[in-house]
Amino acid sequence: MTLLPEGILFSLSVRENEERIVTMKCFSNSTVSGSFVAIIVGAAAFGFAQTSGHERPTTRTASGITRTELERHPLAGTDQEMRLYLIVYPPGVASPVHHHAAVGMGYVLSGTVESAFGNEKPRTYHTGESFVDEAVTPHTISRNVDRRKPLKLLLYYVLKPGQPAVETP
């Protein structure tokens, strides 16, 4: 379990068989927890099982990394919104140095990611592990360590409408 900056305790588990099943536990006195649960449930029902027929906003980098917005939801009482993304890295691919406008929570759906911010030592996260995407600090390493299989990440951010989650120099 991980404590989010807003004070929400977050736990996410994934089980694979023919379809991806996502369950999530969120413990908080905040009204955010209900919205956050709705986003995860929505992503599980529509994003992973791909049972809905509508297009989702997707961007693709020159190296083939895709970022698909699974869900976007206003955060009541603020000028911010919650966003949930599915990020897919092709085998062996690394992203260019970039930074995030806000702190993000990540979860490795499948594969292994190596990640480092600034001058810190790289860390490796495997299927089923969660991590934090730091804000503002350059994300110097973010790569799929497997040269045969894609890497799939689930990322959650709270941002202002129109604010990009990722910025490259």
Q: Tens digit of pLDDT for each residue in 129-139? A: 999 999 999 99
Buried b (16+ CB within 10 A) or exposed e, 23-38: ebebebeeebbebbee
Residue pair 153/25 in contact by the 8 Å Cβ criterion: no
pLDDT at 32 (0 to 100): 39
pLDDT at 54 (0 to 100): 57
Report the CATH number that the domain containing residue 140 is assigned in CATH: 2.60.120.10
Angle at 72 between CA 49 and CA 5, to 5 degrees: 105
- Widest CA span in the chain: 45
pLDDT at 168 (0 to 100): 87
- Domain range for 86: 2-167
Sign of CA dihedral 116, 117, 121, 123: negative
Residue pair 92/164 in contact by the 8 Å Cβ criterion: no
Angle at 106 between CA 141 and CA 163, to 5 degrees: 85
**Residue holding tokens 């939801």?**
73
- Which ranges of the chain have pLDDT less than 50? 1-52
Structure token pair of residue 162: 């129109």
How many domains does one find in the chain? 1
Angle at 154 between CA 150 and CA 158, to 5 degrees: 145
pLDDT at 55 (0 to 100): 74
Q: How does DSSP classify residue 97?
A: S
Q: How far is CA 158 from the centre of its chain?
A: 11
pLDDT at 78 (0 to 100): 96
**Would the pTM of this model clear 0.75, i.e. be above it?**
no
pLDDT at 2 (0 to 100): 38
